[in-house]
Amino acid sequence: MAQEKQHKKLDGVKIGAIIILILSALVFVFFGFGADVYSSLLNSNSKLPVFGKYEGRKIEYKPGTDYFVRVSELAQRFQNAGYTMDTQTQYYVFHEAYIQTIQDRLYTKSVQKSGYIVPDSAINRQLVQNSRFLDNEGKFSQKMYSTTDQSTITTLRTNIEDALTFSRYADDVLGSDLSLDGNSLYGLKSASAETDFIAKMAAEKKSFTVAAFSTDNFPKEEAVTYAKENGEKFTSYDLSVITVDAKSDAESILKQIKANELLFEDAVADKSAGYYAETDGKISSPYRYQIANTIKNEEDIEKVTSLAQGELSEVIETNRGYSIFRADGSPKAADLTDEATVSLILSYMKTYESGYVENYYSDIARNFIADAAINGFENACAKFGIEAQQVQAFPLNYGNADFIATNPSDITSLTGLYLNENALEKMFALKVNEISEPFVLSGYVNVAQCTGIQSEETDTSSFASLTLDADDSSARSTMLRSDKLEDDFTNVFFDYMLSSSY
């Protein structure tokens, strides 16, 4: 859990801040994680992986490349924090460094095209803050600077210039936390009315009591009733099947069987891929609805289910290849007294007839609402054998935007509420003590009663940083969808990196 929180925290760090870390380094040295991985890769394969290309330029993991530097820098941060480099952490490090590399190339190139040149004065301001040149009191020491060799200073100045070039784009386009007299120094400016508008979105909060009917508890008796009305779906067929990948092969096999040149059983053993059959060729899913799900064209279903005993079908296109069916016996109606059959019908209904199940519970929920209107919500819950769940006050927040409080996450029946417009509309249209119509969410049919409405001021102090994080996240997402990017990160990491003994 601690590692997970740390990952999220690092996710929120702006890339500019990460790159600034380079300013404190004299030169890049192979260390820890980076060196170990590189050595392993070098020993396991002479060809190092190419994770992708941006504008035709490779993103390679080998010493001297910008990607290698990013990986090693991030890995060092995790190691310094005491993390074990397990697969999850390794993936995060390599992927975050991958994004940073692309972002750095894009931003730097854009700034260079604009003609901007980092002033020496800006580089000097950063240089005098470098820990190498600070005395015990944290002040710049001319003596320590003068005794440092020129190659080290040149490297430092180059690193500073690169970082400032990057931050010039990030600050101008996405903004920064720097401000003067309460006004942002960089980035797009936002009107004060915009902040007020967002604040008002969270001003009103509503609390609720929720009654939830789980669709997992659909009664067997109701399933049997459904099966009696739709018995054909649960008719079982005594069939054998041969399946091959090519239609021409299936046609050839069928021709040979009909000409008595090949036994059906031998074709099962020697030629069938066995996608829909047991080892003896018997169809593994014998019910009509299962057979229908395997056949590509609806008009072919009847051709299979109407076969007389001993009769062969024509070549039938199925979802995986081409099949030849043979009827070995007569169809049988479902035995609704058999426990296994009833369980199968229940499973079918939850998978394919969820609307039917939801309607069943919606009818119960409407009876619940009528009872609650007369006897009270809590009493109705007791009568219907369900628990009344208290939901703390929260604002209307479709999509769980970071700017305002999020939807409740501790109520199982409301899982996914933040993306369900219908459910949110029903709940937030309520006045105090009003009861909603039933709404379906996350496998439950819910009924909500509004128990209170609160109005409170919203703290807008964090809006600016939240906006910056949102803009940075959007910029990254847009960048990764660019036509200029040839992305092979996932394939390389899991197919190549994990096969190396790092």
Q: Residue 395 has what DSSP assignment? A: E
List % helix, strand, coil for the chain (3-state, nearest 5).
50, 15, 35
Euclidean distance between CA atoms 401 and 303, whole angstroms: 53
Other beta carbons within 10 angstroms of residue 174's beta carbon come to: 22
- State the distance between the two ends of the chain, measured CA to CA, in whole angstroms: 24
Render pLDDT for 448-480 as a digit per residue (tens, 0 to 9).
Answer: 999 999 987 777 776 767 777 777 788 888 888
Percent of the chain with pLDDT over 70: 85
Which residue type does 194 have?
A: E
User: What is residue 29's predicted lDDT score, i.e. its pLDDT?
Assistant: 32
The strand pairing partners of 447, in sequence order, are 211
**CA dist 333 to 26, 225, 292, 300, Å?**
80, 15, 16, 21
Euclidean distance between CA atoms 346 and 226, whole angstroms: 10
Residues 6 or more apart whose CB falls under 8 angstroms from that of 109 comprise none
The whole-number mean pLDDT for each consecutive block of 10 residues of the chain, a chain of 502 residues, reads: 42 38 31 46 58 93 85 85 82 91 88 86 88 86 89 86 82 72 68 74 90 94 94 94 95 95 94 89 94 94 95 95 95 93 92 94 97 96 96 91 83 94 96 97 96 83 71 84 92 74 41
Instruction: Name the E strands within 456-496.
Output: 485-487
Quick one: tokens of 52? 């992708």
H helix and E strand count, the chain? 20, 12
The strand pairing partners of 487, in sequence order, are 52
User: What is residue 42's predicted lDDT score, i.e. its pLDDT?
Assistant: 45
In three-state secondary structure terms, 164 is helix
Residue whose C-alpha is closest to residue 275's, from 250, 312, 302: 250
Euclidean distance between CA atoms 325 and 57, whole angstroms: 54
